[in-house]
Structure 1
């Protein structure tokens, strides 16, 4: 296996957190194992790593029930067609994915948008799945225009996905650092969750919020009108963080061809 799996045991629920290698931005898929099924959250960018996730999920010996896509960034939905189950998402996320059209795997394989567009709408609120309460919350602004946060209150598990990165450089292409800071403060204000599952990086505890606060504050200070200067400065402050290519991708959105 090329990815890294971390298992968080919460009794009736076990979370298998699959983080892809650095060449695929350390993007993380969560496999939430309930007593009788498995629920996947986010689908990887590269089809090869999506296939690894699906193979691992099948090895758990329980049916894969659904795939939940939290937001409309390709690194979280391009592998959706490999899961072979209904794809669930917020209505806004579904529309944003459909609007992007066909895509391409890193190997050059075309990914038809029809294969990855969610078909089941998630309405914010509570739902009991296999006896386990799930709470679905919509967040606007921050890392993406619209994101889904999933809470498992009985287990103290918060599936934050791309509102939280753990020891991985942040993608700032949505150009909303202030919105991201507000979202982090809202998540951090609820102390009932001791396990935080990020969209890039390994599972963490609530201490990850302080790391995010520092990084976002530094990014706000350093991000001027020169993407290469920003990249140099943020790498100097966070030399141990993974997936520096995320900075380059963000710079393409913020500055265009001037800072490829």
Structure 2
């Protein structure tokens, strides 16, 4: 018998990133919290309308499009526990935030500047983020969501997926960008790892699962093959392109309906094609 569990998908605008709201009759668990505080405030308002306590904010990995809303969520829900699935992910978040402050990327999100002696009003990443016990998120009425982080470095050095047997759903996170240009400004070995993992997902996971990506809309299991094809096309394109403009044009011709060309695709192309 399936446990009582409901799912709402919050589709963010910036970076087309998703947040996932799991609930039963007594509690709510939020997975990821968007790319900016403005959108996170709207997400928080939607959760408040549900009229149940938010027990956990789970952050899947250390890229800021998935955790920038942390301060907003913490302020709106003071009792929420912010959790990650591994110490390495906590370290990734702290390191990325420290780097972003050093290059001025947090001037628009000052509340996310790390708390230090010089900045005592900053966000206390060390104190506010804890490690999830036993790799399971559990709603008040007992429904479980399993978390897995034992992957080789791919889109991110440490990435978490989730699985709900009750929902027959796999949350592939940033292994899949569905209808969105993926972040490929990464090492070539990471790309190879990514392709291998996509093949494993396609071959091992149950065929009737709904796949919920980190970016873009839900899909069926064929989305892993589509993501693999995109990566292969990207590799061939940047290898053959004589300029960044040529690579951009080719990828947009191949994937005319994909979003985030002016952000995610640009950075990916620039990482592999010289000026």
- Deviation string, structure 1 residues 188-236 (Cα, Å, up to 9, x no partner): 2211652111111112221222221211121122223754432222111
TM-score (norm 2): 0.80
**SS in structure 1 of the partner of residue 16 of structure 2:** coil
Shift of the 109–142 alpha-carbon distance from structure 1 to 2, 3 Å rule, reads closer
Q: Give the Cα separation in 2 of the matches to 1:206 and 1:43.
A: 25
Tell me which of 129, 147, 150 is aligned to 1:119. 129
Greater fraction strand = 1
TM-score (norm 1): 0.85
Are 1:187 and 2:208 matched, yes or no? no
Aligned to 1:88: 83
Alpha-carbon contact 1:167-1:201 (below 8 Å) kept: yes
Tell me which of 111, 130, 136 is aligned to 2:147. 136
Alpha-carbon contact 2:27-2:139 (below 8 Å) kept: no
Structure 1 portions without partners, runs of 5+? 1-9
Q: Tell me the CA shift for residue 126 of structure 1.
A: 4.3
Tell me which of 229, 240, 244 is aligned to 2:246. 229
Q: Give the Cα separation in 1 of the matches to 2:222 and 2:272.
A: 32
Q: Give the Cα separation in 1 of the matches to 2:181 and 2:216.
A: 10
Tell me which of 191, 209, 212 is aligned to 2:227. 212
Q: Tell me the CA shift for residue 255 of structure 1.
A: 5.2
Q: Give the Cα separation in 2 of the matches to 1:113 and 1:203.
A: 34
Q: Give the Cα separation in 2 of the matches to 1:70 and 1:46.
A: 16
Number of residues of Structure 1 aligned to a counterpart in Structure 2: 246
Structure 2 portions without partners, runs of 5+? 75-79, 116-122
User: Which one has a bigger Cα radius of gyration?
Assistant: 2
Spell out structure 1 runs of 4+ moving beyond 4 A. 102-107
Tell me which of 239, 244, 248 is aligned to 2:266. 248
Q: Give the Cα separation in 2 of the matches to 1:53 and 1:105.
A: 23
